[in-house]
Amino acid sequence: MARIQFYVAAACAVVLALAAPTLAGDPDMLQDVCVADLASPIKINGFPCKANITADDFFFAGLKNPGNTNNPAGSVVTAANVEKFPGVNTLGVSMARIDYAPGGQNPPHTHPRATEIIFVLEGTLEVGFITTANKLFAKTVTKGDVFVFPRGLVHFQQNRGYGPAAVVAAFNSQLQGTQAIAMTLFGAMPPVPTDILAKAFRIDNGEVEAIKNKFK
């Protein structure tokens, strides 16, 4: 009986080990390529495959140039995910370029479907993430440095230099998903009830309404 239990436990361990890669990112692909047909009316978990494809479907030139950082955050994310770059459909990868004006910030946010790793192109940034135990891991990074943000954890980047900064980010998902914390809570539609936010942040209703007005 003990031997049978051992074999059952071993079999379970093997199954979990084999399943682990699929839990780490997108599901495994079942064919060589599947360029996303973004115009298809079919709704599935992902995107259906386009019938006729060319080399251009696997090419994206959108990360060459800096983006426009003239906005309240002082930063802009240029995505190379499946919605902009259909060739990555089913491949479990995507990229982005993030540009920051002096003092610009990529506000605290999460990616529910991917780990993110950044490579600094230029500038000086303070970057960090917060664990579920509310511990902050932060570091100042400069040109050529690499930093990783674990999947699902709140993280941020802030330009601490006197000039512009930029990074290239990579994700282990074709569509990592992004939830900016402040926008999610104070800019949701329909709105989160004011009294709920007031109690959560220990402020009064008037302060909540003032913050909501900034995210309309």
pLDDT in tens, the chain (216 residues): 544 443 444 443 333 333 444 444 677 777 889 999 999 998 888 899 999 999 999 999 999 999 999 999 999 999 999 999 999 999 999 999 999 999 999 999 999 999 999 999 999 999 999 999 999 999 999 999 999 999 999 999 999 999 999 999 999 999 999 999 999 999 999 999 999 999 999 999 999 999 999 998
DSSP state of 38: T
Residues 152 and 189 placed together within one structural domain of the fold: no
109 is in an annotated binding site: yes
Give the phi and the psi of residue 109 in degrees, each rounded to 5: -155, 175
Q: Is 111 annotated as a binding residue?
A: yes
- Distance between CA atoms of residues 164 and 153, nearest Å: 26
Q: Specify the number of domains making up the chain.
A: 2
Give me the amino acid identity at 3. Answer: R
Residue 9 lies in a domain: no
Under a CB-based contact definition with an 8 Å cutoff, are residues 104 and 163 in contact?
A: no
Is position 13 within any domain?
no
CA distance 124 to 91: 32
CB within 8 Å of 165: residues ≥ 6 apart: 99, 100, 104, 120, 121, 122, 123, 124, 125, 159
Domain-embedded: residue 208: yes
Residues 113 and 140 in one domain: yes
155 is in an annotated binding site: yes
What global pTM score does this model have?
A: 0.84
Q: Is 106 annotated as a binding residue?
A: yes
Q: Which domain holds residue 70?
A: 26-177
Query: Are 147 and 196 in the same domain?
Result: no
Nearest CA among 157, 165, 167 for reference residue 124: 165
Same domain, 96 and 203: no
Q: Are residues 191 and 134 in the same domain?
A: no
